[in-house]
Homo-oligomer: A and B are copies of this chain.
Amino acid sequence: MIRIGIAGYGNLGKGVEAAVYNNPDMELVAVFSRRDPSTVKIRTEGVPVVEFSKMADYKDKIDVIVNCGGSATDLPVTTPVIAENFNVIDSFDTHARIPEHFENVNANAKKGNNVAVISVGWDPGMFSLNRLYMNAILPNGNDYTFWGRGVSQGHSDAIRRIDGVVDARQYTVPVESAVQSVRNGENPVLTTRQKHTRECYVVVEDGADKARIENEIKTMPNYFADYDTTVNFISMEELREKHMGIPHGGSVIRSGFTGMDNSTKHTIEYSLKLESNPEFTGSVLAAYARAAYKLNKNGESGCKTVFDIAPAMLMVEDADYLRAHML
């Protein structure tokens, strides 16, 4: 059994807990939290919630820590620290800071003789991986990424910060005609506005100025100004009834050419339809936790990404079985 620890028990931590529960070769040993452990109720029976600061006490009891903190301020600090004592996985998703995070984690993982895998999930993660395979196979071509239909936490939060807003959900929606054009191999040049629309469901305070709020949303730089945005004002009841899920998904498509004159057309598409973004991301993290464990058993150490890990490492079964049954 691979002994797993989860650091952080928000939506993603809960997703990892469920994934560990459903993987027959894994057991959850502890959940680490910065909150008072007595206030954190987890769903796996008999597993303790432990103060984050006491993680090192579990050095010989846990094989892999899945670090479920946020990318902005938490993971850059905690993953390198954890890597000194444990194999560790995170879902660091601030693309521009990946090289820096990699270096910090790599140094400490090597020092501790552990394997760390950063930026695991679906984007970065499975989408990046598929983009890489597509580019390796079809070096001449164009990549397209569409996200959604799904809830963007960042955009929902941005709406909530507007004066007079009580709660909000924002759905990122791919423009269907653009997706179809790409699937048809038309290689369109698409602006930001032509790729996605943004759908907002907003609950406001009694008597709030809806026209002002709608205008503030639609003109918000970076988040909404470059998109066709629709704003729907709804009641808290309707929000609770229809918008409590965290679905997401999307497609990575490469349209490429082969042949001596590069005139033969091919389209490769990888797409996801996810009822729960954190449960799916948690499942990807669990698979890479297995890989980290196996790689470390093979004597490896240091930081890795999904690009550096052979697919067979993600599976319970050995190479003979995989060749005979899955190739």
Residue A266 interfacial (CB < 8 Å): yes
Q: Are A135 and B326 in contact (CB under 8 A)?
A: yes
Q: Which of A59-67, A195-203, A276-284 contacts B (4 or more CB under 8 A)?
A: A276-284
Q: Are A23 and B270 in contact (CB under 8 A)?
A: no
Q: Are B319 and A308 in contact (CB under 8 A)?
A: yes
Residue A128 interfacial (CB < 8 Å): yes
Q: Chain A: interface secondary structure?
A: helix
Q: Are B312 and A327 in contact (CB under 8 A)?
A: no
A260-B43, A323-B102 known; A272 vs B283 contact (CB < 8 Å)? no
Residue A267 interfacial (CB < 8 Å): yes
Q: Are B320 and A99 in contact (CB under 8 A)?
A: yes
Q: Are B284 and A264 in contact (CB under 8 A)?
A: no
Nearest neighbor of A259 in chain B, beta-carbon distance: B18
A284 and B276 alpha carbons, distance in the complex (Å): 33
A310 and B287 alpha carbons, distance in the complex (Å): 15
A310 and B274 alpha carbons, distance in the complex (Å): 26
A326 and B99 alpha carbons, distance in the complex (Å): 11
Kindly supply a per-residue 1/0 record for chain A positions 310-327, scoring 1 wherever the CB is within 8 Å of any chain B CB and 0 otherwise: 111011000110111011
What band does the interface of chain A fall in when counting residues whose beta carbon is under 8 Å from B? 35 or more
Q: Which of A49-57, A137-145, A216-224, A228-236 contacts B (4 or more CB under 8 A)?
A: A137-145
Residue A77 interfacial (CB < 8 Å): no
Nearest Cβ in chain B — how far from A247, in angstroms? 10
Residue A72 interfacial (CB < 8 Å): no
A275 cross-chain contacts in B, Cβ below 8 A = 264-266
A99 cross-chain contacts in B, Cβ below 8 A = 320, 323-324
Residue A124 interfacial (CB < 8 Å): yes
What 7 A-B pairs come out closest when comparing CB atoms? A136-B314, A307-B312, A258-B279, A136-B287, A267-B273, A264-B276, A128-B327
Extra contacts, 16 of them, besides A18-B259, A185-B273, A266-B280 (Cβ < 8 A), are A15-B258, A18-B260, A43-B260, A99-B323, A130-B270, A132-B326, A136-B287, A137-B280, A258-B280, A258-B282, A259-B276, A266-B279, A268-B271, A268-B272, A269-B269, A307-B311
